[in-house]
């Protein structure tokens, strides 16, 4: 049993009322050229982004659509200091803000930057790879956010806010077509069922667009086959009590992305699997792959399989907001399930030298309770909350790297459960129109348990079983 400890800190700072570093446009004088106010909820209440003492970038849903941002990884091209890159298979994104993050292909490790959809955390980076659609805006906050968010985040937060049900009937369809046969479509319907009940449903899909080809066979690679759906219901139970139910589902059966060789690779006859010479590619669209038939068979794939994924997700959340005069209570209950099957090739050649496969099942459940001041024009505003979450992961990971050295293809499997509970709070006091005092506290307890960790051979002619063990860790942080 190992017991590492982490220490957090209390945030106490005097900040100017204007943002320290933000990419939202500053408000201009009222001379006919004033820019529209950008309203965000980064601090759990509606505020002007131009007046926040935070390092924040904001992009509207229309801006995201105009720039072709349909997956979270593409935000790296639009937001300063945000890095997002794929690890093995492309489905395991690695997030860094201002250089704070991690580089790890393992599914079970949560990063320092957390992605949220309507204030519900996606704890595993692999869960962030769904299609982006029907969004109101995205807010990217740099730096620690643990005094405002139930789930602790030390590097920053990426908050997606979806478009909400409307009180008038609305509907729309968007169609697109691109090179290499790429097609996309998005549609939504929104409106009231009654004075107190309204709903919204949105769907989106991307198809085709495969721009790579196998240099040996000419087979195409890179076609997209990804879809998503989201449904929302809002109920005004009374003037002060409101509920929102959100349901979502997604599917991704897209091809993977192949590598290309940019230098000549000489023949290596000494390999247990002889490796022929492979010249550098002159066409950046060229790639290659090759999987051992036994490797594919043991994992349930056809003999002609190519790099790709078969991922499915679905989730639900229920939010309640109760206004009690100068105080507002908020409850967010959420659950998500995710299944991943992903096959990848990392040598870009026709032989089975460096192949990987991931098979994952994740189940997340969370509950957040908040109480906050409801006096936005007052000098003092505050928020306090409690958070609980449980994450379960069943993971399998197979590789053929060892086969390059005449050893067995291996499969590693394990089960992990993470339970987190925390108390958090923040207050800000406007001392003058240009000076604000901000203080925050956080107390957190996290336990991680890993069971049934085993590595075994999946080669038909070699029998090897690694040890099975369990690992338990307690993590505590306070400040």
Q: Considering its fold, how many domains does the chain have in total?
A: 1
Residue 240 has pLDDT above 70, yes or no: yes
Residue owning tokens 């038939």:
293
**Residue with more model confidence, 268 or 215:** 215
Q: Is residue 4 part of a domain?
A: no
Residues 390-411, mean pLDDT to the nearest whole number? 80
Other residues' Cβ atoms within 10 Å of the Cβ of residue 214: 17
Over the chain, what is the mean pLDDT? 84
What CATH number corresponds to the domain at position 329? 2.40.170.20
Q: Is residue 244 part of a domain?
A: yes
What pLDDT is stored for residue 403 in this prediction? 58
Q: Is residue 133 part of a domain?
A: yes
What pLDDT is stored for residue 461 in this prediction? 45
Q: What is the distance, to the nearest Å, from the Cα of residue 36 to the centroid of all Cα atoms in its chain?
A: 29
Q: Is residue 193 part of a domain?
A: yes
Residues 269-282, mean pLDDT to the nearest whole number? 72
Q: Is residue 321 part of a domain?
A: yes
- Residue 472 CA: distances (Å) to CA of 382, 389, 416, 447: 37, 18, 10, 8
Measure the CA angle with vertex 165, ends 159 and 171; round to 5°. Answer: 110
What pLDDT is stored for residue 380 in this prediction? 94
Measured CA to CA, the distance from residue 65 to residue 63 in angstroms comes to 5
What pLDDT is stored for residue 264 in this prediction? 79
- pLDDT tens, position by position, 423-443: 999 999 999 988 889 999 999
Q: Is residue 118 part of a domain?
A: yes
Residue owning tokens 């459940």:
365
Residue 314 has pLDDT above 70, yes or no: yes
- pLDDT tens, position by position, 14-66: 433 333 334 444 444 444 444 466 777 777 777 776 667 678 899 999 999 99
Nearest to 309 by CA among 362, 226, 252: 252
What pLDDT is stored for residue 226 in this prediction? 97
- As a whole-number percent, the residues of the chain with pLDDT over 90 amount to 56
Residues 121-125, mean pLDDT to the nearest whole number? 91
Residue 342 has pLDDT above 50, yes or no: yes
pTM: 0.85
What pLDDT is stored for residue 65 in this prediction? 92
Q: Is residue 348 part of a domain?
A: yes
What pLDDT is stored for residue 294 in this prediction? 83
- pLDDT tens, position by position, 444-464: 999 999 999 998 877 654 444
Banded model confidence at residue 91, pLDDT cuts 50, 70, 90: low
Q: Which domain range does residue 247 map to?
A: 11-28+36-478
Measured CA to CA, the distance from residue 339 to residue 314 in angstroms comes to 9
**Residue with more model confidence, 314 or 464:** 314
Banded model confidence at residue 104, pLDDT cuts 50, 70, 90: confident
- As a whole-number percent, the residues of the chain with pLDDT over 70 amount to 82
Residues 287-300, mean pLDDT to the nearest whole number? 89
The answer to whether the beta carbons of residues 343 and 307 sit under 8 Å apart is: yes
Q: Is residue 194 part of a domain?
A: yes
| 21-22, strands of its sheet edge to edge | 21-22, 55-60, 135-142, 156-162, 113-117, 120-122
- pLDDT tens, position by position, 144-198: 988 999 998 889 999 999 999 999 999 999 999 999 999 999 999 999 999 999 9
Residue 415 has pLDDT above 90, yes or no: yes
């Amino acid at each position: 049993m190992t017991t590492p400890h982490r220490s957090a800190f209390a945030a106490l700072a005097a900040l100017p009322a204007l943002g320290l570093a933000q990419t939202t446009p500053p408000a201009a004088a009222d001379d006919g050229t004033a820019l529209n106010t950008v309203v965000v909820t980064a601090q759990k209440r509606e505020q002007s982004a131009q007046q926040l003492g935070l390092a924040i970038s904001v992009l509207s849903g229309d801006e995201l659509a105009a720039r072709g941002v349909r997956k979270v990884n593409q935000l790296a091209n639009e937001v300063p200091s945000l890095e997002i890159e794929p690890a093995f298979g492309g489905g395991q994104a690695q997030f860094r803000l201002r250089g704070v993050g991690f580089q790890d292909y393992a599914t079970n490790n949560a990063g320092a930057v957390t992605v949220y959809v309507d204030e519900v955390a996606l704890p595993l980076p692999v869960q962030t790879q769904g299609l982006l659609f029907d969004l109101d805006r995205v807010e990217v906050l740099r730096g620690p956010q643990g005094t405002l968010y139930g789930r602790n985040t030390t590097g920053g937060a990426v908050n997606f806010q979806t478009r909400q049900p409307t009180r008038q009937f609305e509907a729309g369809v968007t169609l697109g077509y691109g090179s290499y046969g790429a097609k996309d479509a998005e549609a939504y319907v929104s409106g009231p069922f009654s004075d107190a009940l309204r709903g919204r449903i949105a769907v989106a899909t991307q198809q085709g667009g495969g721009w790579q080809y196998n240099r040996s066979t000419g087979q195409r690679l890179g076609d997209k086959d990804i879809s998503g759906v989201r449904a929302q219901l809002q109920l005004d139970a009374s003037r002060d009590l409101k509920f929102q139910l959100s349901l979502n589902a997604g599917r991704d059966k897209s091809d993977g992305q192949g590598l290309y060789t940019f230098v000549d690779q000489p023949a290596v006859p000494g390999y247990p699997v002889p490796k022929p010479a492979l010249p550098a590619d002159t066409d950046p669209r060229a790639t290659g792959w090759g999987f051992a038939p036994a490797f594919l068979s043991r994992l349930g794939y056809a003999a002609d399989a190519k790099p790709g994924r078969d991922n499915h997700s679905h989730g639900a959340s229920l939010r309640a907001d109760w206004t009690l005069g100068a105080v507002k209570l908020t409850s967010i209950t959420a659950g998500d399930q995710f299944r991943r099957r992903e096959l990848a090739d990392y040598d870009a050649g026709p032989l089975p030298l460096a192949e990987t496969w991931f098979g994952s099942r994740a189940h997340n459940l969370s509950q957040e309770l908040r109480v906050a001041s409801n006096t936005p024009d007052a000098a003092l505003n505050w928020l306090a909350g409690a958070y609980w979450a449980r994450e379960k992961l069943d993971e399998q990971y197979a590789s053929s790297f060892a086969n390059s050295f005449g050893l067995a293809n291996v499969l590693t499997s394990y089960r992990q459960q993470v339970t987190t509970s925390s108390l958090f709070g923040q207050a800000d006091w406007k001392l003058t129109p240009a000076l604000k005092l901000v203080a925050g506290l956080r107390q957190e307890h996290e336990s991680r348990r890993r069971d049934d960790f085993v590595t075994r051979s999946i080669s038909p002619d070699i029998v090897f079983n690694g040890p099975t063990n369990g690992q338990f860790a307690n993590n505590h942080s306070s400040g």
